[in-house]
Amino acid sequence: MIPFITAGDPAPELTVPLMHALVEGGADIIELGVPFSDPMADGPTIQRASERALVNGMSLRKVLALVSDFRATNSDTPVVLMGYANPIEAMGVDRFVAAAGAAGVDGVLVVDYPPEECEAFARTLKAGSMDPIFLLAPTSTEQRIREVATIGSGYIYYVSLKGVTGSGALDFDDVAARMPQIRQGVGMPVGVGFGIRDAESARRIGEVADAVVIGSRIIEEIEDSPRDQAVARVKNFVEGVRAALDQIQGAPR
Amino acid sequence: MQTADKPYRFPDSHGHFGPYGGVFVAETLIPALDELNAAYEACRSNPAFIAEFEYELKHYVGRPSPIYHAKRISDSLGGAQIYLKREDLNHTGAHKVNNCIGQALVARYMGKPRVIAETGAGQHGVATATVAARYGMECVVYMGAEDVKRQAANVYRMKLLGAKVVPVESGSKTLKDALNEAMRDWVTNIHNTFYIIGTVAGPHPYPMMVRDFQTVIGKECLVQMPEMTGRQPDYVIACVGGGSNAMGIFHPYIDVPGVRLIGVEAYGEGLESGRHAASLTGGTPGVLHGNRTYLLQSEDGQIIETHSISAGLDYPGVGPEHAWLKDSDRAEYVGVTDQEALAAFHNLCHLEGIIPALESSHALAYAAKLAPTLPRDKILLVNLSGRGDKDMHTVAEKSGIQF
């Protein structure tokens, strides 16, 4: 299970407690969103999270500091940063990779860096012992799957529907049908995200994928909670998903 | 400087203009862009497509647009002669329609019955709604909620033309957010939807495709200027927001030696004030909206809000080919303030009987600065990219007049 939260939402001081809550709730990997002013691939929920985080003064530098804080008491759970290219380019790729490595980041997913635009970035990340994580979509071609397999490492994030994060319509049969081809093509674990809303949809995806990614639904939990209850409610929600995944025969993630 | 023996060939096959341009989008959009690329390649080399595009430009838009010698303005400035390329006389009142017709024809070729667009002031939205009506396509226009309030007349125009206008409430509620929202629509509805981008920005092939459709402006000038003056101009001057009118008139002149190309950005309340929209002269390179280019951004790489009296220039990025022309010194980029543009607006009204768009008034304002420093036999060609009817409200308000 790979839960996603946006760093700095609802408040910078809640990000590290939320990360620990995700781990206690059963997260295998944490995707930590780096807020950006123009999150083109995200739906309204994650956009709002980004806007709140930016109002709270969050920046890439501060996100890395939060990862360091998290690492003070958790040295095991992998942390993957997910965000957009511009904040990284503004910091400078080399400086970013050095700082991310030092902070204890394990992987980086840059939404608007498709393989053809980031060969050097992916190389630099790998040289720093971090994984460049890539997206694949229902529309991705065989050739695309091979390209991503060559340049990426860690896992593949399969976007389960055509659209933006948090969208409604998720086609389980379509995901199930595509999974063998993608798995075989990339030779690494495949996480599936975009449109997973609850324990039941997580379980159904978990039956065919190596991991499920849940983002917008957790952000909604944070939005709907009084500030002092956000951490407990997120933990509770994630536990529910974990329990559903654990019912799956075989090797649920 | 680029010369005739070193022909200019950009972008490369991946859409790069030197380090700029490219395809910086999420994986979900890659197949759509591949499909568009293939369709556009097929169209641009198809004589029937080109013939239909030219027919539409002639009979629907009213091209070629004339060039006009602004003698009274030139005399009042006492220096170089100012010539105006009259894109304001096009159907819908600006250069935007050239590109919209081209993209609508590509959409029809691809069998997409639905077109979407982003718009700031509403000019590109109106042009898109116009061609959608012309070709019988469903049309949805995304417009920042702030802009919807400021540009009520254009919103109504789009609705008259049968388009649906969607106010965008996210981010700064302006053009850049409308663009984000249009991208989100596109990624969700790729199967039946064509995204008509209004300027020479976005992921490849948009900067190249929009440029190609707009170069009709400069190609006409290459023929018209020798007819009128016996030679090509010494300077070609155009305003730059996203940069489509400038690229349209610059591009055919890139390989013509001795012609200086000058792009004029919006300095708003002044470059030093921080309240401006001058990406090239006041920004730094970065990645936004699918391409690498100059951006107005914070130290942390967040896009910052821009300001210009002219909504059409109020954008924090700029087309990647302008970034390349700047770095390679083939074009020069300067700026003028809101006040200077307003003064040029009033001057053209009074001295030539032409009401220019506030965008184009930026180019006029720089020409008015440059002309007096040059001898009378020098020639400045200014792209009058649009007419000012849409700006009545803004200008009246600045003069303290309420309708």
- CB-based burial label for B6 (10 Å; 0-12, 13-18, 19+): exposed
Structure tokens at B130: 């116009």
Sheet holding B290-295, edge to edge: B16-17, B20-24, B290-295, B284-288
pLDDT at position B403 over 70: yes
Eight-state DSSP code of residue B219: H
pLDDT at position B5 over 60: no
| Residue B31 contacts A where some CB pair is shorter than 8 Å | yes
pLDDT digits over B126-143, tens only?
999 999 999 999 999 999
Eight-state DSSP code of residue B65: P
| Residue B25 contacts A where some CB pair is shorter than 8 Å | yes
* Strand, helix or coil for residue B287: strand
Is B128 within 8 Å of B281 (Cβ atoms)? no
* Cα–Cα distance for residue pair A217/A3, rounded to 1 Å: 10
User: Chain B residues with CB inside 8 Å of A142's CB?
Assistant: none
| Residue B373 contacts A where some CB pair is shorter than 8 Å | no
User: Chain B residues with CB inside 8 Å of A86's CB?
Assistant: 286-288, 295, 297, 301-303
Is it true that the peptide bond before B11 is cis, omega within 30 degrees of 0? Answer: yes
* Cα–Cα distance for residue pair A69/A194, rounded to 1 Å: 28
| Residue A12 contacts B where some CB pair is shorter than 8 Å | no
Structure tokens at A204: 């159904």
Give strand ranges (E) for chain A. Answer: 2-6, 30-33, 79-83, 107-110, 131-132, 134-136, 156-159, 190-193, 211-214
CA distance B167 to chain A (A): 14
Q: Which residue of B has its CA nearest to A89?
A: B286
Q: Which of residues 168-227 of A touch B (CB under 8 A)?
A: none
**Catalytic site positions of A:** 31, 42
| Residue B168 contacts A where some CB pair is shorter than 8 Å | no
Q: A201-206: long-range contacts (C-beta < 8 A, 24 or more apart)? A: A201/A170, A201/A172, A202/A1, A202/A241, A202/A244, A202/A245, A203/A244, A203/A245, A203/A247, A203/A248, A204/A172, A205/A160, A205/A170, A205/A172, A205/A175, A206/A244, A206/A245, A206/A248, A206/A252, A206/A253
pLDDT at residue A194, as a whole number: 81
pLDDT at residue B311, as a whole number: 87
> Rounded to whole angstroms, what are the CA distances from B21 to A177, B116, B127, B272?
36, 22, 25, 28
pLDDT at residue B2, as a whole number: 44
| Residue B359 contacts A where some CB pair is shorter than 8 Å | no
Spatial CB neighbours of B107, under 8 Å, sequence gap ≥ 6: B115, B135, B137, B194, B196
The question of whether B385 is a catalytic residue gets the answer: yes
User: Chain B residues with CB inside 8 Å of A114's CB?
Assistant: 23-27, 30
| Residue B300 contacts A where some CB pair is shorter than 8 Å | yes
* Cα–Cα distance for residue pair B118/B140, rounded to 1 Å: 9
CB atoms near residue A92 (< 10 Å): 11
User: Chain B residues with CB inside 8 Å of A91's CB?
Assistant: 300-301
- Closest in B31, B290, B303 to A139, CB measured: B31
Place of tokens 């220019």: B356
| Residue A88 contacts B where some CB pair is shorter than 8 Å | yes
Q: Which residue of A has its CA nearest to B299?
A: A90
Q: What is the DSSP string of B300-314?
A: TSPBPP---SSGGG-
With an 8 Å Cβ cutoff, are A38 and B176 in contact?
yes
With an 8 Å Cβ cutoff, are B297 and A144 in contact?
no
Is A125 within 8 Å of A105 (Cβ atoms)? no
Q: Which residue of B has its CA nearest to A40?
A: B180
The closest of B292, B263, B207 to B24, measured between CA atoms, is: B292
Alpha helices in B199-313 (DSSP H): 206-214, 216-229, 244-250, 279-282
| Residue B3 contacts A where some CB pair is shorter than 8 Å | no
With an 8 Å Cβ cutoff, are B289 and A40 in contact?
yes
Residue B355 φ/ψ, nearest 5 degrees? -95, 105
CA distance B364 to chain A (A): 33
Interface probe for B, chosen from A37, A81, A121 (most Cβ of B below 10 Å), is A37
* Cα–Cα distance for residue pair B236/B223, rounded to 1 Å: 14
Place of tokens 């718009």: B119
Structure tokens at B214: 């707009």
pLDDT at position B177 over 70: yes
Is B362 within 8 Å of B310 (Cβ atoms)? yes
- Interface confidence, given as ipTM, is 0.94
Q: Which residue of B has its CA nearest to A110?
A: B26
The question of whether B96 is a catalytic residue gets the answer: yes
Is A182 within 8 Å of A152 (Cβ atoms)? no
Eight-state DSSP code of residue B145: H
Q: What is the DSSP string of A135-157?
A: EE-TT--HHHHHHHHHH--S-EE
Eight-state DSSP code of residue B66: P
Spatial CB neighbours of A60, under 8 Å, sequence gap ≥ 6: A34, A83, A87, A88, A90, A91, A96, B300, B301
* Cα–Cα distance for residue pair B124/B180, rounded to 1 Å: 16
Count the helix, strand and coil residues of chain A and give each as a percent rounded to the nearest 5.
Answer: 50, 15, 35
> Rounded to whole angstroms, what are the CA distances from B169 to A41, A158, B35, B358, B394?
16, 29, 30, 26, 23
With an 8 Å Cβ cutoff, are A116 and B14 in contact?
yes
CB atoms near residue A94 (< 10 Å): 12
| Residue B190 contacts A where some CB pair is shorter than 8 Å | yes
- Tell me how far apart the 2 most distant CA atoms of chain A are, in Å: 48
Q: In chain B, pLDDT over 90 holds for what percent of residues?
A: 88
- B290 pLDDT band, cuts 50/70/90, is very high
Structure tokens at A246: 């654990």
Spatial CB neighbours of A31, under 8 Å, sequence gap ≥ 6: A2, A3, A4, A5, A80, A81, A82, A109, A213, A215
With an 8 Å Cβ cutoff, are B286 and A144 in contact?
no
- B4 pLDDT band, cuts 50/70/90, is very low
B379: enclosing H helix or E strand: strand B379-384
pLDDT digits over B329-351, tens only?
999 999 999 999 999 999 999 99
User: Chain A residues with CB inside 8 Å of B295's CB?
Assistant: 86
Torsion of CA A159, A160, A161, A167, to 10 degrees: -90
pLDDT at residue B1, as a whole number: 45
Residue B195 φ/ψ, nearest 5 degrees? -95, 110
Is B296 within 8 Å of B304 (Cβ atoms)? yes
Per-residue pLDDT of chain A (253 residues; tens, 9 = 90+): 999 999 999 999 999 999 999 999 999 999 999 999 999 888 889 999 999 999 999 999 999 999 999 999 999 999 999 999 999 999 999 999 999 999 999 999 999 999 999 999 999 999 999 999 999 988 888 889 999 999 999 999 998 776 776 666 677 888 899 999 899 999 999 999 888 889 999 999 999 999 999 999 999 999 999 999 999 999 999 999 999 999 987 654 5
CA distance B399 to chain A (A): 35
With an 8 Å Cβ cutoff, are B188 and A112 in contact?
no
Structure tokens at A133: 């994580």
Alpha helices in B58-205 (DSSP H): 71-77, 96-110, 123-135, 145-150, 152-160, 175-188
pLDDT at position B3 over 50: no
A-B contacts (CB, under 8 Å): 123
pLDDT at residue B249, as a whole number: 98
- Closest in B30, B177, B301 to A87, CB measured: B301
| Residue A89 contacts B where some CB pair is shorter than 8 Å | yes
| Residue A51 contacts B where some CB pair is shorter than 8 Å | yes
Is A49 within 8 Å of A9 (Cβ atoms)? yes
Catalytic site residue from B85, B96, B112, B390: B96
Sheet holding B193-195, edge to edge: B164-168, B138-144, B114-119, B193-195
Spatial CB neighbours of B9, under 8 Å, sequence gap ≥ 6: none
pLDDT digits over B102-124, tens only?
999 999 999 999 999 999 889 99
* Cα–Cα distance for residue pair B276/B296, rounded to 1 Å: 9
| Residue A90 contacts B where some CB pair is shorter than 8 Å | yes
Q: Which residue of B has its CA nearest to A51?
A: B171
User: Chain B residues with CB inside 8 Å of A117's CB?
Assistant: 22-24
Structure tokens at B353: 């009987």
pLDDT digits over B245-260, tens only?
999 999 999 999 999 9
pLDDT digits over B274-283, tens only?
999 999 999 9
